[in-house]
Amino acid sequence: MPRPLRDPQPMLERAIEEWGGHEDLWIFGYGSLIWRPEFDFSERRPAHLHGWHRALKMWSRINRGTPQCPGLVFGLLSGGSCRGMVFRIPAAQGLETLGRLWLREMPTGVYDPRWLDCVTPHGRVRALAFTLSRRSPNFTGELSEARYREIFAHACGRYGTSLEYARQTLEELQRHGIHDAALMRLLRLAEAELSEAADCPRQPAGLYPNTQAPSSTNNQQENP
């Protein structure tokens, strides 16, 4: 387990206090929470968040990469807007859900949890979102196209590759009718890299999370 950047417990306590516990809990998902929430919810709605945007600009050194070859996951950065999903959790399950979310999203205290107003087809809701500060050491800053290609080709952690993570997110966004032009552009970079490497018989070391030989389809996709 990496050393915490900040103690996550005070942030959990503040989130609980700001929620209050008397009403249902809303959570805003913009990345893997959409396709792998890992909590029970009573309702899910598409939501539009103003003033923040989804960006593949957060280093991942365990889940989607390693300290030697960091991968990428999404952060919610200030500026612009973001379409995602909000999940409603009954008040009686709110405390347990927040505790589980903190174990998943906040073991190192990297995010800044915020209560943000989200626009949904059935009105506004105040939802908890995990935002990322540009001052965080996990914020990548601007990355070149060549760097994204390198990460997509090589970065792999305990949950799989950065490329797989990005593809799963895009597929789920599209399933819910959400268009993300920036993510589509990044994945086109990865496809171009894979096309250029299609005739190369040698695969990058450490790309696959297991020792089973990948199929010919997986060789082309570099995605287990």
Catalytic residue set: 105
Is residue 130 exposed (0-12), middle (13-18) or buried (19+ Cβ within 10 Å)? Answer: buried
Residue 93 neighbours by CB distance under 10 Å: 16
**Amino acid (1-letter code) at residue 12:** L
Counting other chains too, the contacts that 175-179 makes at CB distance below 8 Å and 24 or more residues apart are 176/34, 176/46, 176/85, 177/46, 178/46, 178/83, 178/84, 179/83
